[in-house]
Amino acid sequence: MRRIWILGTVLALSLALAAPAFAQGPIVHVVQPGENLFRIALRYGLTADALAAANGLSNASRIYAGQRLVISTGGNAASPPTSSSGTHVVQPGENLFRIALHYGLTYQALATANGIVNANRVYVGQRLALPGHANTAPAAPPPTPSGQTYVVQRGDTLSAIALRYGISAWALAQTNGIRNPSLIYVGQVLRIPGSAGTGASPAAPPSAPSAPTGGRWIDVNLSTQTVTAYEGNTPVRSTLVSTGLPYTPTPTGRYTIYSKYASGDMAGPGYYLRNVPYIMNFYRSYSLHGTYWHSNFGHPMSHGCINLPTPEAQWLYSWAAVGTPVNIHY
């Protein structure tokens, strides 16, 4: 009987740890060896900034094993009302699992209905279509009366759409109230800033910087926080990224990719990240790589490396060979 009781207790503790998102009200998380603020925030459906602010942390990279962090899950807020419009607007502290539970759905069905690849990544203000509810199509932002609109197609990214119209991805995100540029969905209607009329043709892509080669090369613009793949002077693909913070800047200059790894561990002062995907080293320990611990692309976030959305990192990893030039500039 004692053995059964112990096994039951272990099982209950395991279930409690596996589903922190359903706890109500503030809870406390004890930092474990190897954890960082980004990973902890992701686990509870929060942003690292929100978690740092809630605990008075001025430096998000400096936490320590045994530290007790207050996790505000929004338990004091009123429950979201049942939607009759077929959409749900994500509130602070919510995550896909909790929203699905509220509407009697599985998180997989909710993710599929909204084209979400990573179920841990939803953002405040995002509009989610609710499968099986009335009017399940997400409400599109109203087009500007004199402006052009674009309907998102399968495979589109915000940066690729912006490149097509000759504007910055940041301007396109700001115009449409998109907090996370890596999360757009098929059928979403985007207003194109600065366009004259709905029948106008897309503007020509901006001219490329001076190409260091006639073949494939990668341009990193630290001012716009973008990475663009070029073939000669022709842009092939572009995405928002996160480069180094002011006290850990990304080096500028012209380099070449000298090694590639499908995944690997990364460590430095205040952080340890396991299985970082699609690593391409270009200078000392600096690299372009995929990112699972934050989705704040378009803003400096790193210790000097270039953080890409993981699907974009995968594409670039397949496209660029060892020896591909990398041009980094402001």
Secondary structure, 3-state, 43-106: HCCCCHHHHHHHCCCCCCCCCCCCCEEEECCCCCCCCCCCCCCCEEECCCCCCHHHHHHHCCCC
* Residue 167 belongs to domain with CATH number: 3.10.350.10
Domain boundary among the residues 183, 206, 229 is at 206
Structural domain includes residue 125: no
Structural domain includes residue 124: no
How far apart are alpha carbons 185 and 179 in whole angstroms? 14
- CA 282 to chain CA mean position, Å: 23
How far apart are alpha carbons 304 and 286 in whole angstroms? 7
Q: Judge if 228 and 199 occupy the same domain.
A: no
How far apart are alpha carbons 226 and 240 in whole angstroms? 4
Cα distances (angstroms) measured from residue 203 to each of 29, 96, 192: 50, 37, 11
How far apart are alpha carbons 146 and 226 in whole angstroms? 29
Check if the beta carbon of residue 210 is closer than 8 Å to that of residue 173: no
Q: Judge if 26 and 58 occupy the same domain.
A: yes
Q: Judge if 151 and 230 occupy the same domain.
A: no
Query: pTM (2 decimals)?
Result: 0.42
How far apart are alpha carbons 247 and 218 in whole angstroms? 24
How far apart are alpha carbons 12 and 4 in whole angstroms? 12
The pair phi, psi for residue 237, each rounded to 5°, is -160, 145
296 CB contacts (<8 Å, ≥6 apart)? Answer: 47, 49, 180, 242
Structural domain includes residue 2: no
Structural domain includes residue 153: yes
- Bridge partners, residue 192, by sequence: 148
- Structure tokens belonging to residue 330: 């402001």
Q: Judge if 53 and 23 occupy the same domain.
A: yes
Q: What is the pLDDT of residue 275?
A: 93
Predicted confidence pLDDT, tens digits, the chain (330 residues) = 544 444 444 444 443 343 343 334 457 788 888 788 877 877 776 777 777 777 777 676 778 888 888 776 544 433 444 455 578 887 776 777 778 777 777 777 777 777 776 666 777 777 888 877 654 343 444 433 345 888 887 767 776 777 777 777 777 877 888 766 667 787 788 888 864 433 334 444 444 466 676 799 999 988 888 899 999 888 888 888 999 887 788 998 899 999 999 999 988 877 788 999 999 999 999 999 999 988 888 888 899 999 999 999 999 999 999 999 999 988
Q: Judge if 201 and 227 occupy the same domain.
A: no
Structural domain includes residue 97: no
Q: Judge if 195 and 146 occupy the same domain.
A: yes
Domain boundary among the residues 149, 171, 206 is at 206
Q: Judge if 228 and 163 occupy the same domain.
A: no
Structural domain includes residue 11: no
Containing 250, the helix (H) or strand (E) segment is none
Structural domain includes residue 1: no
Total structural domains within the chain = 3
Cβ atoms within 10 Å, residue 190 = 24
Q: Please spell the DSSP secondary structure of 180-224, one letter per residue.
A: -TT---TT-EEEETT---TTPPPPPPPPPPPPS-SSEEEEEETTT
Domain that holds residue 30: 19-71
Q: Judge if 236 and 167 occupy the same domain.
A: no
The length of the chain in residues reads 330
> How many CA within 13 A on the CB side of residue 35?
19
Q: What is the pLDDT of residue 17?
A: 41
Q: Judge if 186 and 257 occupy the same domain.
A: no
Q: Judge if 250 and 307 occupy the same domain.
A: yes
Q: What is the pLDDT of residue 181?
A: 66
* Residue 308 belongs to domain with CATH number: 2.40.440.10
- Token pair 């600096």: residue: 286
Domain boundary among the residues 171, 206, 241 is at 206
Structural domain includes residue 111: no
- Structure tokens belonging to residue 194: 């600065």
Amino acid code (one letter) for 91: Q
Closest among 173, 191, 168, 171 to 183, alpha carbons compared: 173
Q: Judge if 254 and 288 occupy the same domain.
A: yes
Q: Judge if 238 and 316 occupy the same domain.
A: yes
Q: What is the pLDDT of residue 208?
A: 47
Containing 4, the helix (H) or strand (E) segment is helix 2-18
